[in-house]
Structures are given as structure tokens and as C-alpha cells.
């Protein structure tokens, strides 16, 4: 029997998930988990969360919420493995081992580090070393289960690229061990923020959350930034600079999308019409997810923990085997 391709991805436990998480990553999790030729691992990166959050209760709560989000978007936990990063201590061991192969300069160049460092320094907060070694932990997450495919949004691509480089370096020095993990083929997805900023992000108050009601979606979209040069209803717009059109391209399709494009250019439709169509399509994506989530909440507070116990055990077994092999190859087995 042909070996299944291993898919792995994760999400930090840092608050409510949003449309950026969904369109950039989770939508693909759901699709891949339904593909028989794939063995999927989806986890909650609660150790990565510690680089920016310190409240243990928040972290524990967000972890459980993400388990419910994973299942609500269509991941079946009896087929895919859902686990918490903290359930697999061997991943931290692998982080050290891979860290010894990672140039510091590569870590200092990472956009995520530079961005977070600048913000922390501006606020006078400590720039913790976890922010710097964040991508090495991420490489360990990926290489631990020997992942072949890593579905992530555009912002995470540099991190996956580092994991690829570490896999190659390890294989060259110690012999073939890791497959080179691939990103999803096709364009990298970056979902823009509602405020016109580059990216929809949890901490930027520019999101449509997966839990937003239809009324909230309509309200948030109606206030979202559009083509700044389109001041009056009859001014033709430029979809290529419009935030709302960027969202349409990710969400709407076919004739409706073509009509929005043409209608904006010719001023046939106004920004409010265009936003109404977008809101309707967003609500159509969110409604079934929210419905499923409401059913899961009825299962009680222990339900996410049961999933995590089960998934943690499955993931740990596989990852521990890799780490044992890696330690042996590097000359540092357990004596
Ligand atoms: P996190 O929690 O920041 O984001 C989770 C996923 O959502 C994607 N994403 C977006 N995609 C497109 N447009 C956006 N505006 C947008 N915002 C978020 C992210 O690209 C990501 O795929 N470091 C990771 C978690 C992680 C991980 C891993 C992922 C830890 N180890 C190993 C894959 C493999 C993170 O912070 O994701």
C-alpha cells in the first residue's frame, strides 16, 4: 500500500480565529483531511503562544476553543489527529537539536521576528528569546511527524522555508531522514485587514471573526476601507487597489465576481452594493461553521480535552520515534 502523505499545520492559541485564518489555512485543512491519500495532523501551537501571552487561563481557554473550531470547519477527529503542541515534549528536544544547525542570522532576518521585536522595543517590553527561536520550534513541529505538506497562509511561508532548509541540512550531514516539506501549490493567500492594512490579524482589530453574527459581519464590512479615490457614488472605482475587491476575489466567484469587477470600474454598482454582496457571501461561509460549533458546545467542556488526550497520544508516539532516530544519528542517544 502506498504510504500516505503527511499533512501538518497549527494555529496559535491567541484568541478568536478570523476569516484570515480560515481562508489562508483552515479551509485547506478541511479539504486535505477529507482526502484518503493524506494523513493529517492539526495542532494548537500553545508553546508558540508563550512568546506573546502570559495569562495561563486565557491560553487554556483558547486551546479548547480552537479544538472546537477545527471540528466546526469540517475536520473529523476520528480521521485526522488534533493535538496540543504541549502534549509532545519531544518537539522541544527536537527544537534544541535543530537549533544547533540554525544560523542566528537566518532567525534575525525573519519578518515575524523583526516585526514583533520592533513592536516590543517600541513598547519597552522584553524581546524574549522565544521570539527569535520561534521558527526553529516551528521546524520541529513540521519535521517531528516528517510532514510532506504544510498548509499555511503567506505570512508563515518564510518559516516553512527555514524548515525545508533545516531538513536538507540535516539530511546532508546525517543521512536521509526528513522529507522536504512542501507548501500548498498555487498562490500564497494573504487576507487583507478591514482597515486597509496588509493583513487581517488577531491583534489588529481589523478582522471578521469566525464567530461574528450576520449583523456584525454587515456592520464591519460596511465600515471597511475601499478604493480611497472613489469618493462619490458615480465615480468609477479601481478594484486593484480596493480592499473589498481583494476579499471578493477570495470569497466570491463566477458571474457575481465578474459583475462586481465590471460594476466597480464603470460605477454601475456603488461601494455599498458591492459590500452587501460580500457580506452575504461571508455569512454563507460562516453560518454552517457556527451551526456546527453550537452543536459541539452542547457536548460539554470535557469534549475538547478528550479529543486532545487521544490526539496527543497518537502524535507523540510518531514524533517520539523521529526524535529518537535524530538523537541517535547526531550521537546523543538516551543512555
Ligand atoms: P497563526 O496562529 O498566526 O495563524 C494560523 C494560520 O492562519 C494563517 N493566517 C492568514 N492567512 C492569510 N491571511 C491572513 N490575514 C492570515 N492570518 C493568519 C497563518 O498563515 C497560519 O497558517 N506559527 C504559526 C503556527 C504554527 C505552525 C507550525 C503552522 C506553529 N507551528 C507548524 C504550521 C506548521 C502561526 O503563528 O499561525
Cα-to-chain-centroid distance, residue 233 = 37
CA 14 to ligand 1 center in whole angstroms: 11
Q: How far apart are the C-alpha atoms of 32 and 38, rounded to whole Å?
A: 7
122, part of any domain: yes
Facing residues of 42 across strands?
A: 9, 82
For 117, the 3-state DSSP assignment is helix
Q: How far apart are the C-alpha atoms of 231 and 238, rounded to whole Å?
A: 12
220, part of any domain: yes
Share of the chain above pLDDT 90, in %: 85
> At 238, which CATH number?
1.10.240.10
- pTM, entire model: 0.96
144, part of any domain: yes
Residues 281 and 134 reside in one and the same domain: no
Per residue in 172-189, pLDDT tens?
Answer: 999 999 999 999 887 789
Residues 306 and 289 reside in one and the same domain: no
- H/E stretch holding 5: strand 5-12
Residue 204 has pLDDT above 70, yes or no: no
Mean pLDDT rounded to a whole number for the chain: 94
Share of the chain above pLDDT 70, in %: 99
Nearest CA to ligand 1 atom 33: 9
Q: Supply the DSSP symbol for 18.
A: B
Which of 117-121, 205-209, 215-219 has the largest mean confidence? 215-219
Residues 85 and 123 reside in one and the same domain: yes
Average pLDDT over residues 208-214: 95
CA 155 to ligand 1 center in whole angstroms: 7
Cβ atoms of residues 211 and 31 within 8 Å: no
Start-to-end CA span in the chain (Å) = 36
Res. 2 pLDDT band, cuts 50 70 90: confident
| Nearest alpha-carbon partner for 112 in 129, 139, 136, 131 | 131
Is-catalytic flag, 199?
A: yes
The tally of domains found in the chain comes to 2
Name every residue whose Cβ is closer than 8 Å to that of residue 156 and which is 6 or more positions away in sequence: 138
Residue 205 has pLDDT above 80, yes or no: no
Residue from 120, 199, 280, 292 carrying the catalytic annotation: 199
Report the atom number in ligand 1 closest to the C-alpha of 159.
23
Is-catalytic flag, 327?
A: no
Per residue in 93-118, pLDDT tens?
Answer: 999 999 999 999 999 999 999 999 99
Residues 77 and 12 reside in one and the same domain: yes
More confident residue, 14 or 109: 109
- The preferred substitution site among 9, 10, 194 for testing ligand 1, maximizing ligand atoms within 8 Å of CB, is 10
Residues 16 and 106 reside in one and the same domain: yes
59, part of any domain: yes
Name every residue whose Cβ is closer than 8 Å to that of residue 307 and which is 6 or more positions away in sequence: 67, 71, 77, 82
Residues 257 and 326 reside in one and the same domain: no
Q: How far apart are the C-alpha atoms of 203 and 191, rounded to whole Å?
A: 14
Q: What is the pLDDT of residue 304?
A: 96
68, part of any domain: yes
Residues 134 and 238 reside in one and the same domain: no
Please indicate whether residue 200, judged by its CB atom, sits closer than 6 Å to ligand 1.
Answer: yes
Residues 93 and 235 reside in one and the same domain: no
Q: How far apart are the C-alpha atoms of 97 and 94, rounded to whole Å?
A: 5
207, part of any domain: no
Residues 247 and 306 reside in one and the same domain: no
Q: How many CB atoms lie within 10 A of CB 129?
A: 10
Torsion of CA 29, 30, 32, 37, to 10 degrees: 130
Please indicate whether residue 72, judged by its CB atom, sits closer than 6 Å to ligand 1.
Answer: no
- Find the length of the chain: 335
Residues 238 and 115 reside in one and the same domain: no
More confident residue, 8 or 233: 8
CA 232 to ligand 1 center in whole angstroms: 38
Please indicate whether residue 53, judged by its CB atom, sits closer than 6 Å to ligand 1.
Answer: no
Phi/psi of residue 164, nearest 5 degrees: -65, -45
Residue from 27, 64, 116, 275 carrying the catalytic annotation: 116
> At 40, which CATH number?
3.40.50.620
Residues 314 and 242 reside in one and the same domain: no
Residues 144 and 20 reside in one and the same domain: yes
Q: What is the pLDDT of residue 233?
A: 87
User: For the residues of 37-97, what is the DSSP string, one character each?
Assistant: TEEEEEEEEHHHHTTT---HHHHHHHHHHHHHHHHHTT--TTTSEEEEGGG-THHHHHHHH
Tell me how many degrees the CA angle 161-186-106 measures, rounded to the nearest 5.
Answer: 15
Tell me which residue range forms the domain holding 264: 214-295
Q: Taking the alpha carbons of 261, 20, 278, 196 in that order, is the dihedral positive or negative?
A: negative
Q: How far apart are the C-alpha atoms of 271 and 264, rounded to whole Å?
A: 8
Amino acid at each position: 500500500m502506498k504510504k500516505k502523505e503527511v499533512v501538518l499545520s497549527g494555529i496559535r492559541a491567541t484568541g478568536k480565529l478570523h476569516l484570515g485564518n480560515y481562508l489562508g489555512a483552515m479551509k485547506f485543512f478541511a479539504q486535505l483531511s477529507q482526502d484518503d491519500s493524506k494523513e493529517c495532523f492539526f495542532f494548537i501551537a500553545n508553546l508558540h503562544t508563550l512568546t506573546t501571552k502570559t495569562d495561563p487561563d486565557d491560553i487554556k481557554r483558547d486551546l479548547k476553543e480552537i479544538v472546537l473550531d477545527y471540528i466546526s470547519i469540517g475536520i473529523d477527529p476520528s480521521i485526522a489527529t488534533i493535538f496540543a503542541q504541549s502534549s509532545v515534549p519531544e518537539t522541544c528536544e527536537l527544537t534544541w537539536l535543530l537549533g544547533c544547525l540554525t544560523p542566528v542570522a537566518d532567525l534575525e532576518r525573519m519578518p515575524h521576528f523583526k516585526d514583533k521585536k520592533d513592536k516590543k522595543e517600541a513598547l519597552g517590553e522584553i524581546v524574549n528569546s522565544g521570539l527569535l527561536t520561534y521558527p526553529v520550534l516551528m521546524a520541529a513541529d513540521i519535521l517531528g511527524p516528517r510532514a510532506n505538506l504544510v498548509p499555511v497562509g503567506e505570512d508563515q511561508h518564510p518559516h516553512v522555508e527555514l524548515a525545508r532548509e533545516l531538513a536538507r541540512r540535516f539530511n546532508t550531514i546525517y543521512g536521509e531522514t526528513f522529507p522536504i516539506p512542501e507548501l500548498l501549490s498555487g498562490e500564497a493567500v494573504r487576507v487583507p485587514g478591514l482597515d486597509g492594512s496588509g493583513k487581517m490579524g488577531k491583534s489588529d482589530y481589523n478582522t471578521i471573526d469566525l464567530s461574528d453574527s450576520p449583523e456584525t459581519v454587515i456592520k464591519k464590512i460596511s465600515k471597511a476601507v475601499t478604493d480611497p479615490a472613489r469618493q462619490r457614488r458615480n465615480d468609477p472605482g479601481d478594484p486593484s487597489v480596493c480592499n473589498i475587491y481583494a476579499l471578493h476575489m477570495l470569497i466570491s466567484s463566477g458571474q457575481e465576481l465578474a459583475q462586481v469587477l465590471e460594476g466597480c470600474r464603470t460605477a454601475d454598482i456603488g461601494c455599498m452594493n458591492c459590500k452587501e454582496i460580500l457580506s452575504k457571501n461571508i455569512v454563507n461561509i460562516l453560518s454552517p461553521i457556527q451551526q456546527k460549533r453550537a452543536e459541539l458546545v452542547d457536548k460539554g467542556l470535557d469534549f475538547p480535552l478528550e479529543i486532545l488526550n487521544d490526539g496527543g497520544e497518537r502524535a507523540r508516539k510518531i514524533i517520539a520515534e523521529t526524535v529518537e532516530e535524530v538523537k541517535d544519528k547526531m550521537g546523543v542517544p538516551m543512555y
